[in-house]
């Protein structure tokens, strides 16, 4: 069901991930997977292109219905069919939410974070307030005391990543309820990026943030779990009809309109690809076990509950483990991109074949264990 791309196929299919990486180096950085599209998506896109279905996109009602079906089957969550408003991408959807639906005032972003979270705050002309995770904390949690201090100082929007990239946490219902209690008290609006939600791994549970705070803005897309960012299909999920109207009423240049092919692919992904997704999650679960087995003894990894992106603390081996890995033929994402100034961390993408992951880990471990400790740049 899950079809691996060979190196040659991956170089053509994923020109950013593979093409921006030197020949001979294995890419395990940007969040793309080394797998072919699910067949129902491939077929639907081919049919759409063969049928010249590239006109202006109509209102994307089918996307909301397909998403509601997915939410019911996978998360036992009843979300209205008409709660979704289509948009071009998750980050452009977050920009739209900040501009059209959130109060003025600073925006709180926990770090480490997906780097565009910081950028989108700047793009919308808001002040960014970061709340850093202590890299030595045993469990990666939302630091509610620091978050409350930011609200007390005037912040009125909170940017949540649920599940979290790069920490790999699927926040529990009680953690999310505690956040909702706090944001409710200060009149803070939460924008929750849930693009990684279908990728919760065995042992963890995904809680849609809207089930603990109906005033939140959910932004999601099938693009991450089904490996198709190029089709530019995402959606805002808004429970208040007035919010939906406000977004729909925005002028076209403010809306960053969605793509017809994104709607075609998104509908099929939410509706017809459960078996493919199950095979993917099974593969990711096995790769997670492989990673845990192969990491060297002084590497630190908190349990990976969701996503295919492992957040590794390699401070015991190198201040710049990315540079070490690159010298040994592996490209990783540097931890400092996610939390500026943080040494010794990397994000490793394990959405690939078992053989390729084994080779990535072999090269990384060789590099780390044959380099000097703590000072290697
Ligand atoms: C948390 C998170 N949000 C958003 C995105 C990107 O979404 P889009 O390409 O739809 O803007 C990513 C991509 O990896 C991500 O990890």
Residues 268 and 287 in one domain: no
Average pLDDT of the chain is: 95
pLDDT digit string (tens) for 283-321? Answer: 999 999 999 999 999 999 999 999 999 999 999 999 999
Which residue minimizes the CA distance to atom 13 of ligand 1? 31
Full residue range of the structural domain in which residue 313 is found: 7-30+274-369
Question: The domain spanning residue 102 has which CATH number?
Answer: 3.40.640.10
Taking the CA of residue 91 as reference, the ligand 1 atom at the shortest distance is 11
**Total structural domains in the chain?**
2
Whether 38 maps to a domain, the answer reads: no
369 C-alpha to ligand 1 centroid (Å): 33
Query: Given this model, what pLDDT does residue 372 score?
Result: 59
Residues 323 and 257 in one domain: no
Taking the CA of residue 232 as reference, the ligand 1 atom at the shortest distance is 10
pLDDT digit string (tens) for 38-70? Answer: 999 999 999 999 999 999 888 888 999 999 999
Name the residue of 33, 89, 91, 112 to mutate for ligand 1: max ligand atoms within 8 A of Cβ.
Answer: 91
Residues 204 and 351 in one domain: no
Domain final residue pick, 224, 239, 272: 272
Residues 349 and 309 in one domain: yes
Query: Given this model, what pLDDT does residue 297 score?
Result: 95
pLDDT digit string (tens) for 349-370? Answer: 999 999 999 999 999 999 999 9
250 C-alpha to ligand 1 centroid (Å): 23
- Number of CB atoms found within 10 A of residue 228's CB: 23
337 C-alpha to ligand 1 centroid (Å): 15
205 C-alpha to ligand 1 centroid (Å): 20
Residues 176 and 282 in one domain: no
Whether 375 maps to a domain, the answer reads: no
Whether 108 maps to a domain, the answer reads: yes
- 156-178: average pLDDT: 98
Check whether 376 has a pLDDT greater than 60: no
Name the residue of 30, 114, 196 to mutate for ligand 1: max ligand atoms within 8 A of Cβ.
Answer: 114
236 C-alpha to ligand 1 centroid (Å): 13
Q: What percent of the chain has pLDDT over 90?
A: 91
287 C-alpha to ligand 1 centroid (Å): 22
Give ligand 1 pocket residues (Cβ under 6 A).
31, 89-91, 114, 161, 165, 193, 195, 221, 223-224, 229, 234
Whether 158 maps to a domain, the answer reads: yes
pTM across the whole model: 0.96
């Amino acid at each position: 069901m899950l079809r691996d791309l060979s190196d040659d196929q991956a170089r053509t299919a994923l020109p950013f991930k593979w093409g921006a990486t030197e020949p001979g180096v294995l890419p395990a950085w940007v969040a793309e997977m080394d797998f072919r599209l699910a067949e129902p998506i491939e077929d639907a896109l081919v049919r759409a292109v063969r049928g010249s279905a590239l006109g202006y996109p109509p209102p994307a009602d089918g996307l909301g219905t397909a998403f509601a079906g997915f939410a019911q089957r996978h998360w036992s969550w009843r979300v209205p069919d008409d709660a979704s408003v289509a948009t071009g991408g998750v980050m452009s959807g977050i920009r739209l939410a900040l501009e059209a639906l959130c109060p003025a005032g600073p925006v709180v972003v926990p770090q480490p974070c997906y780097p565009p979270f910081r950028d989108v705050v700047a793009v919308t002309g808001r002040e960014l307030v970061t709340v850093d995770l202590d890299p030595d904390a045993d469990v990666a949690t939302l630091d509610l005391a620091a978050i409350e201090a930011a609200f007390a100082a005037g912040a009125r929007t909170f940017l949540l990543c649920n599940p979290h990239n790069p920490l790999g946490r699927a926040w529990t219902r009680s953690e999310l309820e505690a956040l909702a209690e706090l944001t409710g008290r200060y009149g803070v609006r939460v924008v929750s990026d849930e693009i990684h939600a279908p990728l919760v791994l065995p042992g963890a549970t995904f809680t849609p943030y809207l089930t603990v705070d109906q005033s939140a803005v959910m932004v999601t897309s099938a693009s991450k779990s089904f490996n198709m960012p190029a089709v530019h299909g995402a959606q805002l999920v808004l429970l208040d009809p007035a919010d939906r109207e406000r977004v729909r009423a925005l002028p076209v240049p403010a809306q960053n309109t969605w793509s017809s092919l994104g709607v075609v692919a998104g509908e099929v992904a939410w509706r017809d690809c459960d078996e493919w997704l199950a095979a993917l999650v099974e593969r990711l679960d096995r790769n997670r076990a492989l990673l845990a087995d192969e990491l060297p003894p002084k590497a630190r990894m908190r349990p990976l509950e969701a996503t295919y992106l492992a957040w590794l603390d390699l401070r015991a081996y190198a201040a710049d483990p990315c540079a070490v890995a690159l010298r040994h033929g592996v490209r990783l994402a540097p931890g400092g991109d996610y939390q500026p100034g943080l040494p010794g961390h990397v994000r490793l993408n394990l959405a690939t074949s078992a053989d390729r992951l084994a080779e990535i880990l072999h090269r990384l471990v060789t590099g780390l264990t044959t380099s000097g400790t703590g000072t290697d740049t």
